[in-house]
Structure formats: C-alpha cells, structure tokens
Amino acid sequence: MASNRIGRINEEIQRELAAQIRRLKDPRVSQTGMVSITRVDTTGDLRYSRVYISVLDKSQEKDVLKGLKSAAGFLRRELGASLRLRYTPELQFIADDSIQYGAHILELLHDVEQRDGAPETEE
C-alpha cells in the first residue's frame, strides 16, 4: 500500500517539476531544446528524490544538469508550495540515456527489417 502512495507522489513530483523546468530562466536549461523528466524515484520517508533527466542534445547534458542543480533549492520550494507534502524531498538530478538508447535500438531494428526485406541477389 505504501509503495502505491510513493508511486503516486513520484508522478505528482514528475508532473510538477516538468512544469517548473519549462519556466526556469537559467539559460543552461531554458535554451537547450528538449529537456525531459523520464522518471522520479523517492525514498520511503520522502526525504530524497532522484530525478532522471534526458536531454535531446547530449552535448548540452552536463550544462543542463549544472543548471538544474543550481536551481534545486528554488524547484524544491516551488514543489513544496504546490504539493503540500509533510516533507518536500531534496532533489538530485541524474542523467538518463534511456530515450537515446531506445532510439538506437529502434534504428537497429529498422536496419535489420530493411535487410531482411530486401530481395536476395544470387551470384
């Protein structure tokens, strides 16, 4: 039962942080194309949340993470005001390559599909 509650809180944190990140004025975050929150994991005592971030342009990933780290206090305060939890978790931002990895797998599958579908030539 508690894990279901934590899961719901993770979803709320993810939704609220996504909205807050879009409003950040830090150029390291706001001028970077697409920044997505792929997942949020919160400890059972709600003290800490790991926020997994995916950045479309991998060359800007380190700057985006630095920008989010510097804005963590502001984001935490905004999160606390909107969610009204007993404890507002401390935010830790972590790079997540799952979207890029998924795109790579799709590309490989597409290549295999094209190769298998191509007519074979006999010598």
pLDDT confidence of residue 76: 95
pLDDT confidence of residue 47: 93
Amino acid sitting at position 91: L
pLDDT confidence of residue 21: 92
Rounded to an integer, what distance in angstroms lies between the CA atom of residue 12 and that of residue 52? 14
Tokens encoding 105: 């797998």
Strand order in the sheet with 90-95: 35-42, 48-55, 90-95
Percent of the chain with pLDDT over 70: 93
**pTM (predicted TM-score):** 0.78
Q: At 77, is the secondary structure helix, strand, or coil?
A: helix
pLDDT tier at 87 (50, 70, 90 boundaries)? confident
pLDDT confidence of residue 103: 80
Residue whose C-alpha is closest to residue 20's, from 84, 83, 85: 83
